[in-house]
Amino acid sequence: MEDIEIDEVATPELTDPVLIEGLPGVGHVGKLAAEHLLEEFDGELVRRVYATEFPPQVNVDDEGVAELTCAEFHAVETDGADLLVLTGDHQAGSNAGHYKLTSTFLDVAESFGAERAFALGGVPTGELVEEYTVLGAVSDGALTGDLEDAGVEFRADEPAGGIVGVSGLVLGLGGRRGFEAACLMGETSGYLVDPKSARAVLETLEAVLDMSVDYESLEDRAEEMEEVVGKIREMQEGPAVPDDDLRYIG
């Protein structure tokens, strides 16, 4: 196969669609958020993107049928905006691959008439999060106003080290093409899959795009994860150790 191949599955008519990128990353925040949109709004598969930069593997469904790993675009119609949602199980395996794939993703978005883009992801805190804040970055300073009104925080030099992968390049390459691009990053420990952070990101997107999202299924996942978090806290706190037992053995 070629380095990158695109399967055209369907070509619905979308009105000023907004590109939403949610590929795997810290806490799987962006991927969870994107998949929740597809679940809630019955997204229609429109493109598959295959690339030799993806791992050499296939995914096997419940009936044992294998499908070469790929990234997918789904068309989603909401009450506030039409969306073009990009998700998948992998990112590119090299720096050059990230650039090539992101350029291809932006090509697909442009073919549907998209001029706005939101990359969704997580920013690690290194500790369990009690109150979830959404951090932002934009391709143009003029875009910060609406996001700040929606509660997004812009902090100097955060995230530390910048934004890597497709999410960062949606801003960098997208901005060079004239996209109004923003990255929404939910705070997360970085240790666990984080449905609560995904919800915080979606609530921000909900406010910015004036759409309505139901969170019942995401709440169920959050409750399951909260049980795991509770056990971690118990392990971290641990039982108090009497002074008499604080002995050095050696």
CATH class of 2-235: alpha beta
Tokens of 9: 């599955």
**Close Cβ partners of 9 (under 8 Å, ≥ 6 residues apart):** 45, 46, 47, 48
Cα(74)–Cα(21) distance, rounded to whole angstroms?
11
- Find tokens 């883009």 and name the residue: 117
Ranges of the chain with pLDDT below 50: 241, 245-250
CA–CA distances in Å: residue 152 to residues 23, 66, 114: 21, 41, 23
Tokens of 123: 């920013």
CA–CA distances in Å: residue 137 to residues 140, 194, 241: 9, 21, 45
Cα(77)–Cα(101) distance, rounded to whole angstroms?
25
User: Would you list the domain boundaries of the chain?
Assistant: 2-235
Question: In the prediction, which pLDDT does 138 show?
Answer: 97
Render pLDDT for 88-146 as a digit per residue (tens, 0 to 9). 999 999 999 999 999 999 999 999 999 999 999 999 988 888 899 999 999 999 999 99
Cα(240)–Cα(228) distance, rounded to whole angstroms?
22
Structure-derived torsion over alpha carbons of residues 188, 189, 195, 197, reported in degrees to the nearest 10: -20
On the question of a cis peptide bond just before residue 239, with omega within 30 degrees of 0, the verdict is: no
